[in-house]
């Protein structure tokens, strides 16, 4: 055994202190050369192009893998598609109901303006004309005291009591129908402005039906949102779990990539693309499913509309709605993949 190794045994510190300049030179040796140092043919592309290329690379890798694991891909896509189709169909249904509800004249809000009893028929007709000129008024019907009395007589047991009166106690009435596109609040303010007139004695607003419908629609919309949020969460979880399984099955590859210098971003990218692919395919499937549903319901709807003598056809998601569903799928896929990647990829350390 030489003296030299004896010293090493005691763990001697190398005597010579390294200078800063030396350290700097060494660091330079490990730094990758700049682009210009490389031969023209072997030069890596410029930074933004390189970034894009890497993403393309990752996308193709993910697509290739998805093609190989066909059953896996199909099942995940189906689950995501169905989960997205449910709120989409619900949304379409709601829009159609709103359209139908708006289409029924009976549903339009009505206000009754009771005029002074001694108003002349001519003046009442003029008044009706003024009211009809208001914005938001669709129709004005004049009910004369005589008509009112006749109607009253026909439908009540007060007949005998009415006999006792020598004059007609009923005033002329204007029945105003408001535009159905008005909100309940707008109808109220319209009716009040019409009532704010010296010739109007009393006003009665009849829009219970509309208020109920509005309340129901609001409720349905709220329900749609909560269901939508829950299903979105489900999509995130499903995709997250799928990606987790993929990471688990490719653990060896991730280890080796990290071993030879793959950065977290490099290792992560294919998994994120895989998640987005599931979301995208699921979104397209959801679109197809809603359109399919509409097509299936088109016949029965037409029969129903005919029975009510209404002119109505089911409307679908449309291009914008479809694109929204697909984009939602994409974003949810990315989020799902991210949850899996953040938790499981960082935990893999190269051996």
Partner 1 sequence: MIHFDRVSKRYPRAGRDGLRGVSLEIAEGELVFITGHSGAGKTTLLRLIPLLERPSGGRLTVAGVDVDQLPRRRIPLLRQRIGVTFQDHRLLQDRSVFENVAMPLEIAGVPRREAARRVRAALDKVGLLAKEQVDPVTLSGGEQQRVGIARAVVNRPPVLLADEPTGNLDPELSNEIMGLFTSFQAIGTTVLIATHDLDLVERLGYRMITLEQGELRADRPAREGVG
Binding interface with partner 1 (CB under 8 A): 1-2, 4-5, 8-9, 11-14, 18, 22-27, 29-32, 41-45, 50, 53-54, 57, 252-253, 256-264, 266, 350-351
Interior CA angle at 67 toward 293 and 60, to 5°?
110
As measured in angstroms, the least distance from the Cβ of 18 to partner 1 is 7
As measured in angstroms, the least distance from the Cβ of 228 to partner 1 is 37
Distance CA 57, CA 177 (A): 64
Q: Which is nearer to partner 1, 69 or 100 (by Cβ)? A: 69
Q: Which is nearer to partner 1, 67 or 163 (by Cβ)? A: 67
If you write DSSP's letter for every residue of 242-294 in order, what string do you get? HHHHHHHHTHHHHHHHHHTT--HHHHHHHHHHHHHHHHHHHHHHHHHHHHHHH
Q: Which is nearer to partner 1, 11 or 198 (by Cβ)? A: 11
As measured in angstroms, the least distance from the Cβ of 216 to partner 1 is 55
- Indicate the burial class of 349 (C-beta count within 10 angstroms; 0-12, 13-18, 19 or more): exposed
Interior CA angle at 139 toward 133 and 144, to 5°?
100
As measured in angstroms, the least distance from the Cβ of 25 to partner 1 is 8
As measured in angstroms, the least distance from the Cβ of 7 to partner 1 is 9
Q: Which is nearer to partner 1, 27 or 133 (by Cβ)? A: 27
As measured in angstroms, the least distance from the Cβ of 275 to partner 1 is 21
Distance CA 125, CA 142 (A): 7
Q: Which is nearer to partner 1, 58 or 79 (by Cβ)? A: 58
H-type alpha helices, the chain: 3-9, 20-30, 47-68, 70-103, 121-132, 145-154, 159-164, 184-195, 208-249, 251-259, 264-307, 318-344
Q: Which is nearer to partner 1, 53 or 223 (by Cβ)? A: 53
- Token pair in block for residue 63: 């697509």
Q: Which is nearer to partner 1, 45 or 121 (by Cβ)? A: 45
Nearest to 88 by CA among 283, 237, 226, 276: 283
As measured in angstroms, the least distance from the Cβ of 243 to partner 1 is 19
């Amino acid at each position: 055994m030489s003296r030299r190794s004896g010293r090493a045994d005691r763990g001697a510190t190398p005597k010579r202190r390294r200078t800063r300049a030396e350290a700097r030179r060494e660091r330079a040796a490990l730094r990758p050369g700049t682009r210009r140092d490389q031969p023209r043919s072997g030069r890596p592309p410029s930074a933004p192009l390189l970034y894009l290329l890497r993403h393309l690379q990752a996308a193709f890798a993910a697509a290739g893998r998805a093609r190989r694991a066909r059953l896996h891909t199909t099942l995940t896509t189906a689950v995501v598609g169905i989960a997205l189709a449910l709120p989409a169909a619900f949304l379409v249904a709601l829009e159609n109901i709103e359209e139908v509800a708006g289409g029924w004249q009976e549903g339009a809000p009505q206000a009754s303006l009771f005029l002074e009893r001694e108003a002349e028929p001519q003046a009442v007709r003029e008044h009706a004309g003024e009211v009809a000129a208001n914005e938001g008024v669709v129709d004005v019907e004049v009910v004369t005291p005589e008509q009112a009395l006749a109607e009253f007589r026909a439908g009540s047991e007060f007949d005998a009591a009415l006999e006792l009166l020598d004059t007609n106690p009923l005033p002329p009435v204007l029945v105003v129908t408001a535009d159905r596109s008005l909100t309940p609040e707008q109808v109220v303010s319209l009716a009040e402005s019409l009532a704010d007139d010296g010739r109007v004695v009393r006003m009665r607003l009849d829009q219970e039906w509309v208020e109920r419908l509005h309340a129901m629609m609001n409720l349905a919309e709220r329900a749609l949102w909560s269901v939508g949020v829950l299903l979105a969460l489900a999509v995130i979880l499903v995709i997250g779990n799928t990606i987790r399984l993929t990471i688990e099955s490719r653990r060896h590859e991730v280890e080796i990539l990290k071993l030879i210098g793959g950065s977290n971003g490099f290792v992560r990218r294919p998994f994120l693309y895989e998640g987005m692919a599931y979301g995208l395919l699921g979104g397209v499937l959801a679109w197809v499913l809603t359109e399919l549903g509409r097509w299936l319901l088109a016949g029965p709807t037409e029969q129903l509309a005919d029975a009510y003598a209404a002119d109505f056809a089911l409307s679908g998601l449309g291009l914008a709605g479809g694109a929204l569903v697909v984009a939602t799928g994409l974003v949810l896929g990315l989020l799902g993949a991210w949850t899996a990647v953040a938790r499981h990829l960082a935990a893999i350390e190269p051996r």
